[in-house]
Amino acid sequence: MAKVVTQNIPSPIGESKPRIDAREKVTGAAIYADDLQFGNALLHARIKRSPYPHAFIKKIDITKARALPGVKAIVTGQDFPGYIGLYLQDRYIFCRDRVRYVGDPVAGVAAISAEIAEKALSLIQVEYEVLEPVLDPEFGASPEAPLIHPDLGQYVVANFIFPQPGTNISNYFKIRKGDVTGTWKKCAAIVERKYRIPHIQHVPIEPHVAIARVDETGEITLWGSSQSPFAQRNLIAQSMGISQSDMRVIAPFVGGGFGSKAGVSMESLAVAIATKVKGHPVKLLLTREEEFFTAFVRQELVAYFKMGCDENGKLLAMENKFYWGGGAYTEYGVNVTRASGYSSSGPYEVPNVKTDSYCVYTNHPVGGPMRGFGMPEMHAGLEQCIDELALQIGMDVVEFRKLNCLKTGSILVTGSKMHPTGLLQCVEKAAAAIGWGKKAPPSAPNKRRGKGIALMWKAPAMPPNAGSSAWVELAEDGTLNVGVGGQELGQGVFTVAAQMAAAALGVPYESVRVATPVDTRYSPYEWQTVASRLTWSMGNAIVSAAKDARRQILEMVAEAWGETPEDLDIVNGVVVSFKSEKEISLKNLVIYGLPKPDDQGWRGGPVIGRGNFMPTYVTGLDPKTGQGERAVVHYTTGAQAVELEVDLETGCIEIIKGVSAFDVGKAINPEMVKAQMEGGFVQGMSSALFERLQLKDGVVQNPSFVDYRIATSADIPMDLQAFIVEMPQDDGPWGARGIGEHSMVPTIPAIANAICDAIGLRFEGPPFTAEKVYLAMLDAGIVK
């Protein structure tokens, strides 16, 4: 029987309830939804969704639903004319003229119970005119495809995104470096391949949940399981035409995100409904089934690769074409497309590159950010082609990668120079740990064993001016409180925040607390908890705030002792002088200051440090060539290697050993860095072997864990190894870079390369299920 947890949680509406029964509650914000917390004022929301992938809305009749006892409000798109979106504002909160995917929100109901709200949905009558859907991104980019967004040319868009009005292409990013066409004749070997990467779901253990309340003055409070409280404040306020100061977002710990809880997905629905029932908190909780297709999914990709090298194995040219299936709305997909474009060479120095990267509207669920932000999908095919090219000229695939991989000073695909990188060391460590070049026998006669390796690179995909801020304050007992706007998703960022604050100020880690929950009214600004950027960006802000507090303390003590701040240091919460050997604890002085001699007053006062960080050096790229001085802040690089066995009788794949090696600049917390490597490997393995959203005519066929398989503890290899390489980043705190997403990027191709090593077969794309592998072996005559 599950343990019943009771907690004291301060009420968001001013009351305090001593006991909250957390049985059957999910983590994070959902616990606030308990009736005991909000009382009888709490209303429950449900959403009427489109059953068609593409259709005009001809008529919505809410008469019967509104008459149902217990229904307090019904809203439709006619109530909210504003667009919403991060990089591209291309959707309404509720559909107005047409629906664009199965699950598109058409109307919302608030009622005194979830059951009544659900009943009301069945009473809402919607008349549709069904339209031809677009179900493939490559077809969607063609002139023959029906338009999904005829008004694309009128949408508000970031200045580095390039929609193509009159088409389904919401962003077109190009790379033109060198002379690709003229280089092919110089190549000793050329590989051309097509790969297809399917939609998958993030499947966080906690589904999306939001509670919104609008008070009588019109001020909005939103409690949500969110990676992006400040972005939600901004985007929802803009869409609804209110001031950001009248929109407050409170975000407790998040029960898993992986990108699915970035930006705005369902949260604006709760806010919109709450505007019609002022004073009532409105709770919207996605069911697990809804989570699969109404929240963000990972975009699908149809990718074409062509690459060539000379007789010595030196890469000479690449020509890539990416059709990203962005789904019905592409506010995030447009930047995934851009990121894949400026990273399209992979972690290799290639003098001649041509890339065309298209974000294409389809009538599939909405593609959004997921761990890796397009890099797992793009690397999946590219790293397999690298293997094939090396083998075609008779070169060991590890040696081929060592020859061509990026080194410090390499010229990148965008024309800029690579910062210091330890990628070569990563390759060497991964290859050595997997026993590269040593063929181990299979564990049984009916099995084949193989090894594979893959490299990766990834930059934080973000606007050039994404900023972070932080504050620190000390209490009378010398403890340090740290305010940040980044979110804890289980990745350990609050631990790292406390470590950095302690080290920068000079106090014990145990005396540091991080202020939670993140609250846009009181927490310092943070762009979003995405892009594996918090250790680097938020970390810089924390260090700046701690140094500001440190400066105030040392100046105060130096003045009192007649010394200079340079004579002093803070060690374990004690100010010490190297000159006079005096010392004094931070206790009390950080609040009350220090007395002047002869009772002539006091100096100092409460110490509060503040800091911020924003990269000021990222430049734009030429829209015609994709060339520029500095496209991104930095790249994290790394390698993974895999040893596996294929069962000839079943096609089942068993991962025997997984090795990860990443250059993280500086590991602030080495154990958590290794945990990120291991967790990313397992999630990448899951996407390689099991995961796929099965869509038929735009309808998801497997919206449950019964039919949507993810890796479990039983699938994890017994031997997982993680190696840290540290080549400091010039602008990172202590040289640190992010590692959260990167460990999922090379896993698919590492496994694919190992499968090919074992049985000599390649596939157009994952997942490499037992059925798919067995049937392929049957077709190839490997088994009979």
Contact 312, 346 (CB under 8 A): no
The phi, psi pair for 4, rounded to 5°, reads -90, 125
Q: Kindly tell me the burial class for residue 72, based on how many C-beta atoms sit within 10 Å of its own C-beta (0-12, 13-18, 19 or more).
A: buried
Closest CA to 334 of 343, 345, 321, 325: 325
349 in catalytic set: no
Rounded alpha-carbon distances, angstroms, from residue 469 to 314, 383, 490, 494, 544: 44, 38, 21, 14, 9
The phi, psi pair for 73, rounded to 5°, reads -160, 145
For the beta carbon of residue 495, count every other beta carbon within 10 angstroms.
17
Measured over all CA atoms, what is the biggest interatomic distance in the chain, rounded to whole angstroms? Answer: 99
Contact 340, 174 (CB under 8 A): no
Q: Kindly tell me the burial class for residue 18, based on how many C-beta atoms sit within 10 Å of its own C-beta (0-12, 13-18, 19 or more).
A: exposed
Whole-number Å distance between alpha carbons of 413 and 343: 7
Q: How many residues does the chain have?
A: 784
Taking each helix axis from N to C terminus, what angle separates 397-404 and 423-434, rounded to the nearest 10 degrees? 170
Long-range contacts, 581-588 (Cβ 8 Å, 24+)? 584/557, 585/478, 586/474, 586/478, 586/507, 586/553, 587/476, 587/477, 587/478, 588/476
Closest CA to 384 of 192, 649, 523, 554: 192
As beta bridge partners, residue 417 has 411
Query: Residue type at 355?
Result: T
Set 216, 741, 764, 771: catalytic member: 741
142 CB-near residues (< 8 Å, 6+ apart): none
499 CB-near residues (< 8 Å, 6+ apart): 509, 668, 669
Return the structure tokens found at 466: 């994404």
DSSP letter for 436, please.
Answer: T
Angular region, 704: left φ>0, alpha ψ -120 to 50, beta rest: beta
Contact 783, 774 (CB under 8 A): yes
Whole-number Å distance between alpha carbons of 76 and 121: 12
Rounded alpha-carbon distances, angstroms, from residue 450 to 479, 721, 751, 777: 54, 18, 9, 15
Closest CA to 549 of 492, 479, 467: 479
Whole-number Å distance between alpha carbons of 679 and 656: 16
**Strands 43-49 and 282-285, bridge-based pairing:** parallel
Whole-number Å distance between alpha carbons of 380 and 685: 12
For the beta carbon of residue 4, count every other beta carbon within 10 angstroms.
9
Return the structure tokens found at 220: 């909005």
Whole-number Å distance between alpha carbons of 104 and 51: 8
Whole-number Å distance between alpha carbons of 265 and 215: 23
Contact 237, 246 (CB under 8 A): yes
Contact 653, 715 (CB under 8 A): no
Return the structure tokens found at 46: 């449900």
Which residues does the annotation mark as catalytic?
741
